[in-house]
A and B are shown apart, each in its own frame.
Chain A
Amino acid sequence: MVISPVHYIVAPLAAAFLIPLLNKLYDDAARVVPGIVLGYLVVVSAVLVPQVLHNGPITEIIAGWRPPFGINLVMTPFSAILALLVSFMAFVIWLYGFRFRRTLKGGVVMYYEILQMMMTAGALGIILTGDLFNMFVFVEIAGITAISLAAFYRDRDGAEAGFKYMLLGSLASVFLLLGILLLYTQTHSLNMAQIAERMPAVAQGVKIMALIFLLVSLGIEAEMFPLNSWAPDAYSQAPSPTSAAFAAVLGVAAVYALARVSYTLFDAQSVSMFLMVMGFLTMFFAETAAIAQTDLKRMLAYSSMGQMGLVMVALGIGNETALFGALFLIINHAVIKALLFMTGSYFIYNNNSKRLVALNGIHKRLPYVSFLFSLGALAIIGFPPFSGFWSKFYILSGAAKRELLPLIIGILAITIVEMTYYLRVIGRIYFGKEETEPASHKPSINALVAMTSLAVIIVVLGLYPDLISGYLHKASMFLLDKQAYIQNVLSVK
């Protein structure tokens, strides 16, 4: 059987249906099978991504009906790179969490593993699909798993996080459906390429309304201000591997959907201002709120929202340099924030407390984990020579090309805010006076491998950004080229 993009969806689905059975035969099946599946997806990406980058996009038709009559998956350079990122990060997060949940009893582990794996499948579906309604289905899959995982720890805060997320998540679903409905009444199609082709003929008022529906809906998922009130609770209440996956899997898919809708379905120029303003507001409010946090995971959650805001700003700037920066930042944020959540959760595990005060002097007890956390913190602020520096640099130079001076000053000012709270945490870790008891939980070997490999990626990409910059340029060029996307899909026979 030839490897094709549909494997991204089929392999996790088949495994999810099988796991309840396998778990009856073999106790640890629920733990092991997702790893095999996610590892397979990394292999699929390793085969497909070079193909897409060299030979151009792959359009996979499903059920034998060519677009626009059937559903199709489209793997453009842009989505291929993100699919590789998501499957790789999901695999690393699985590796990290492999022994972490030994503390949980019995069948819960099975439910947890299924949900965590299917969140990845949903995210991959959003990234790969070429059909608007199919995207809705995958948003549902990703949303329902994320909501269940946010409420996984069944205490008061967990229930609150799950409930908040459920309210906003259902709103997002309804708005997405209304937006799709409006577009369907006007263009008589659900295929994204065909909708994009017929878009110029749609009445202006309807277009704006549909755009509002889609942006609100995807804005909720992409943590856009003021629709992001679910995020701090969900991030901080979910189990730690899930928090990492929110940033590295779900966030990537949400931003991709936002980019696809604003660049392919609609006109990038018309949403440019909106994305820049909303992105900047998201950044501003999230980063200033992060300073006030006393809880480590909440602080990281606000920082995630801030980074998402910066991605939106970059999508709004919309020239090739800024898009390159945006793609680089999506990759950086996925890797770095996952590392921060992974290391941070070991602090929490050791202190039995999420509070920042408890971090005082923890480097004596967990020297290596503290080192990795500090490395991640410096990278996400954008210190050279770490990879975070390059993404911020390209976004700023993209803004400079459009002569958006106030925006540049704003981003730099917010970076100072970001620096303040991250350096404060590093200060606590290394120079704080220790008050808590000595460590009892050293990181397990698989978690060490996962965290170290992410740290290596951060450093290597920081020193040699040219390793991937050629591919990223290609991907961002392709995102800008709407006609090529339409032609690629509709010319399939």
Chain B
Amino acid sequence: MLKKIFVLFLLTVTGVALWQSFRHAPFGENRVGDVENPETVSAFYLKHSPETLHTANSVTAIVVNFRGFDTLGEVTVLFLAATGLASILYRRKEDEEEEGGHLPVRVKLKSSTLVRTGAKILFPLILLLGIYVFVHGHLTPGGGFQGGAIIATGFLLMFITYKRFNVNHKIMVWLESLSGLAFVLIGLYGLVAYGSFLQNIPWTGRLNDLISGGLIPLIYIFIGIKVATELTNVLDTLMNTKPRKK
């Protein structure tokens, strides 16, 4: 009882302190300022993503270009989370093999015909939607992370529907490595050609065209592939579907 009162007291104090500081945050007000003569960072972004980068979706311009370095870091965080997960779960599988190598216990019951047929039809459509989302990342809401996650849900559907659905690991490793590497290489191209890592090429096309924004759509496509393979790998590791070792 005393412990509960103490916890309640602590939460109240923390809550009041948080409210005290966050009530100064002017939510809902226009703090961007004049977009034509930008003084704040946000106004600068709003002005330059259509004018200089010719990218209709300014969120994408910020994520991939203005703050592209952060995005490279976030992609790496995802990659490392998958690697860390694999390193922790790796030997459990090996141990089980030594114990007699039973099959993955992913799905106990066979799914109904309805689910299996439905999944088969939906799977390519989900992949298509994912690809659409990341290819149009610079024009419409969404992008590499969202598209990649959509594709991974397609694989999740297949994993839970079919007992023995396996992804081709060789292709996954290649796609994963090469898409990550492509992001870094595009960045290095900027460093070599224009003197700044991740710098965009001067040719940015026409606003609202599919091929516009210079390297932005290309980077987002690679991010999409990377995120899709990474999340699928995470699902794969968790669902223990790795094929037996040679």
Contacts of B40 in A (CB 8 A): 188
22 contacts between A and B (CB under 8 A): A14-B184, A64-B196, A65-B65, A69-B44, A105-B94, A107-B90, A108-B87, A108-B90, A111-B86, A114-B83, A115-B83, A118-B76, A118-B80, A137-B70, A144-B80, A148-B84, A152-B88, A182-B25, A185-B22, A185-B26, A186-B25, A209-B20
Q: Nearest chain A CB to B77's CB is how many angstroms away?
A: 5
Q: Nearest chain A CB to B199's CB is how many angstroms away?
A: 4
**Is there contact, CB below 8 Å, between A63 and B198?**
yes
Within 8 Å by CB of B194, from A1, A64, A133, A162, lies: A64
**Is there contact, CB below 8 Å, between A6 and B87?**
no
Tell me if B3 counts as interface (CB < 8 A to partner A).
Answer: no
Query: Which range contains the number of B residues in contact with the other chain?
Result: 35 or more
Residues of A bordering B, CB below 8 Å: 1, 4, 6, 9-10, 13-14, 16-18, 20-21, 24, 60-65, 68-71, 105-108, 111-112, 114-115, 118, 125, 133-134, 137-138, 140-141, 144-145, 147-149, 151-152, 154, 162, 182, 185-186, 188-190, 203, 205-206, 209-210
Within 8 Å by CB of B88, from A16, A20, A162, lies: A162
Residues of B bordering A, CB below 8 Å: 17-18, 20-22, 24-26, 31, 40-42, 44-45, 65-70, 72-74, 76-77, 79-81, 83-88, 90-92, 94, 173-174, 176-178, 180-181, 184-185, 187-188, 190-192, 194-200, 245
Q: Nearest chain B CB to A465's CB is how many angstroms away?
A: 37
Within 8 Å by CB of B173, from A24, A147, A186, lies: A24
Within 8 Å by CB of B91, from A71, A108, A125, A137, lies: A108
Contacts of B77 in A (CB 8 A): 137, 140-141, 144
**Is there contact, CB below 8 Å, between B196 and A63?**
yes
Within 8 Å by CB of B190, from A13, A63, A152, lies: A63
- The A interface, classified by DSSP as helix, strand, loop or mixed, is helix
Contacts A10-B184, A63-B65 given; indicate if A18 touches B199 (C-beta within 8 A).
no
**Is there contact, CB below 8 Å, between B88 and A21?**
no
Contacts A105-B94, A115-B84 given; indicate if A71 touches B67 (C-beta within 8 A).
yes
**Is there contact, CB below 8 Å, between A18 and B177?**
yes
Contacts A17-B79, A111-B83 given; indicate if A188 touches B41 (C-beta within 8 A).
yes
**Is there contact, CB below 8 Å, between A64 and B190?**
yes
Whole-angstrom CA separation of A21 from B80 in the bound complex: 16
Q: Nearest chain A CB to B237's CB is how many angstroms away?
A: 11
Contacts of B180 in A (CB 8 A): 13, 16-17
Known: A13-B184, A16-B80, A112-B87. 11 other contacts (CB 8 A): A1-B192, A9-B69, A17-B184, A18-B177, A68-B41, A69-B44, A118-B76, A118-B80, A137-B74, A144-B84, A182-B22
Whole-angstrom CA separation of A88 from B70 in the bound complex: 25
Residue among B18, B194, B198, B245 with most chain A CB within 10 A: B198
**Is there contact, CB below 8 Å, between A182 and B44?**
no
Residue among A70, A149, A151 with most chain B CB within 10 A: A70
Within 8 Å by CB of B87, from A9, A63, A148, A210, lies: A148
Contacts A10-B187, A111-B86, A144-B81 given; indicate if A69 touches B41 (C-beta within 8 A).
yes
Chain B minimum-CB-distance residue to A69: B44
**Is there contact, CB below 8 Å, between A4 and B191?**
yes
**Is there contact, CB below 8 Å, between B76 and A63?**
no
**Is there contact, CB below 8 Å, between B199 and A64?**
yes
Contacts of A185 in B (CB 8 A): 22, 24-26
Whole-angstrom CA separation of A127 from B138 in the bound complex: 32
**Is there contact, CB below 8 Å, between B84 and A147?**
yes
Contacts of B188 in A (CB 8 A): 10
**Is there contact, CB below 8 Å, between A63 and B69?**
yes
Chain A minimum-CB-distance residue to B81: A144
Whole-angstrom CA separation of A205 from B17 in the bound complex: 9
Contacts A71-B69, A209-B17 given; indicate if A154 touches B76 (C-beta within 8 A).
no
Whole-angstrom CA separation of A106 from B94 in the bound complex: 10
Whole-angstrom CA separation of A79 from B177 in the bound complex: 31
Whole-angstrom CA separation of A185 from B42 in the bound complex: 12
Contacts of A154 in B (CB 8 A): 88, 91-92
Q: Nearest chain A CB to B178's CB is how many angstroms away?
A: 8
**Is there contact, CB below 8 Å, between A21 and B66?**
no
Within 8 Å by CB of A6, from B68, B90, B174, B197, lies: B197
Q: Nearest chain B CB to A69's CB is how many angstroms away?
A: 5
**Is there contact, CB below 8 Å, between A140 and B176?**
no
Q: Nearest chain B CB to A239's CB is how many angstroms away?
A: 11
Whole-angstrom CA separation of A60 from B187 in the bound complex: 14
**Is there contact, CB below 8 Å, between B87 and A111?**
yes
Chain A minimum-CB-distance residue to B94: A105
Whole-angstrom CA separation of A60 from B195 in the bound complex: 10
Whole-angstrom CA separation of A125 from B70 in the bound complex: 11
Contacts of A63 in B (CB 8 A): 65-69, 190, 196-200
Contacts A20-B176, A68-B41 given; indicate if A62 touches B80 (C-beta within 8 A).
no
**Is there contact, CB below 8 Å, between B196 and A148?**
no
Contacts of A118 in B (CB 8 A): 76, 80
Q: Nearest chain B CB to A68's CB is how many angstroms away?
A: 6
Whole-angstrom CA separation of A118 from B180 in the bound complex: 14
**Is there contact, CB below 8 Å, between A62 and B197?**
yes
Within 8 Å by CB of B80, from A6, A20, A106, A115, lies: A115
Contacts of A152 in B (CB 8 A): 87-88
**Is there contact, CB below 8 Å, between A65 and B66?**
yes
Within 8 Å by CB of B73, from A24, A140, A188, A209, lies: A140
